[in-house]
């Protein structure tokens, strides 16, 4: 089962329909899933998940950064995790990276700087951006893709943990599908 985590400021906000349900629609085609708001996640939810997707949020919704204790499970989780925008920020903060102010809104050219199965062997692609923050990864992460403004994709060097700053639910569903197809333990 894939756990899809709603990172919005409150459960059942309008962001559920903009950022979470589109991800669920991609996952629905190939796998079982459950949607939970980050404030309601418990140990059983994490233990029963083969993979986890942390969804994005609205542009000014950063409340999740005030509840990082809800994401400490990322440190011990051995299965694949994909953090999208806000999810990437949470992964970064929990695993010791810095976050800086860098805004991108709209379509952006993404360049692949290191090949990985998540990005399907592409050299570049256009993606939809909606963020005011960016991640500065530690040496524990590889940079897989970037734009002219910020790092777009990271992967933890020892664990199957990915972060992407762009929103694949808009034009790049293949990224989510590639994540779904990762082996449980990779």
Catalytic residue positions? 85, 167, 169
Handedness of CA 78, 26, 54, 157 (dihedral sign): positive
Please report how many Cα atoms fall inside a 13 Å half-sphere around the Cα of residue 123, on the Cβ side.
0
* Structure tokens that stand for 137 in this block: 């990864």
**Length of the chain in residues, anyone?**
186
Burial 130-159 (b: 16+ CB within 10 A, else e): bbebbbebeeebeebbbbeebbbbbbbeeb
Distance set, CA 96 to CA 92, 114, 119 (Å):
6, 22, 24
In the block, residue with structure tokens 């991609």: 26
- Evaluate whether 68 touches 22 at the Cβ level (below 8 Å): no
Q: Which helix (H) or strand (E) holds 94?
A: helix 86-94
- Evaluate whether 56 touches 130 at the Cβ level (below 8 Å): yes
């Amino acid at each position: 089962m894939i756990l899809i985590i709603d990172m919005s400021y409150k459960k059942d906000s309008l962001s559920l329909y903009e950022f979470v349900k589109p991800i669920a629609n991609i996952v629905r085609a190939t796998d079982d899933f459950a949607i939970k708001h980050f404030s309601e996640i418990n140990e059983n939810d994490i233990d029963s998940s083969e993979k986890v997707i942390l969804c994005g949020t609205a542009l000014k919704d950063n409340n999740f950064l005030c509840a990082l204790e809800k994401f400490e499970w990322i440190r011990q989780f051995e299965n694949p995790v994909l953090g999208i925008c806000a999810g990437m920020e949470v992964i970064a903060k929990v695993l010791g990276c810095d976050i800086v102010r860098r805004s991108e809104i709209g379509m952006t050219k993404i360049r692949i700087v290191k090949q990985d199965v998540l990005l399907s062997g592409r050299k570049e692609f256009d993606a939809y951006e909606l963020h005011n923050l960016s991640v500065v990864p530690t040496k524990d992460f590889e940079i897989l893709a970037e734009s002219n403004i910020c790092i777009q994709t990271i992967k933890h060097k020892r664990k199957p943990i990915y972060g992407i700053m762009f929103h694949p639910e808009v034009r790049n569903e293949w990224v989510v599908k590639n994540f779904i197809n990762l082996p449980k333990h990779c």
